[in-house]
Amino acid sequence: MTIAERMRIVEGDITSLAVDAIVNAANESLLPGGGVDGAIHDAAGPELEEECKTLGGCPTGEARITSGYLLPASYVIHAVGPVYQGGDKGEPELLAKCYQASLLIAADKRLATVAFPCISTGIFGYPKAEACAIAVKTMAQWLEDNGFPERVIFCCFAPEDAALYREQLASVE
């Protein structure tokens, strides 16, 4: 299977995906926020917030894992992307690092399928096209060097986000 074949795009609600893990675009506190973070916490039930409280937060560029509770996914990987401040304050590196940290957790747990949202592009303000390019490049590099996860899904809530990912994936061999 090629690198490109190991990446898929799905339009819809990440909380409905029956995969080994979904990635949450989390904040540093790991407590419920808005957007995809709030939707994941709502769908997983109150036990997710209770487990998150035991983790002591998570710095930007890193990730943590919890159970999926009421979600169809077994796990939630909480990745903290950067707040966009113009792009010259280390944001591209931090965004790539949060994807890499999520992938490392998935590989360590030998998770076969992991679904990612568009990290940092909501309230954190990262320009969508730039964030998409970083996500796809980081993912392709990881998959070239690692067997796990076997398949990654970019779950896009908005059709215009899915179009950006399709365009980026077209350049992956």
Catalytic residue among 37, 42, 108, 145: 37
Distance CA 159, CA 162 (A): 5
Cα atoms found within 13 Å of the Cα of residue 149, Cβ hemisphere only: 28
Q: Please tell me what DSSP assigns to residue 5.
A: G
| HEC per residue, 71-125 | CCCCEEEEEECCCCCCCCCCHHHHHHHHHHHHHHHHHHCCCCEEEECCCCCCCCC
Residue 37 is among the residues annotated as catalytic for this protein: yes
d(CA 167, CA 107): 27
Q: How many CB atoms are closer than 10 A to CB 1?
A: 8
Q: 10 Å Cβ neighbour count for 77?
A: 28
- List the catalytic residues: 37
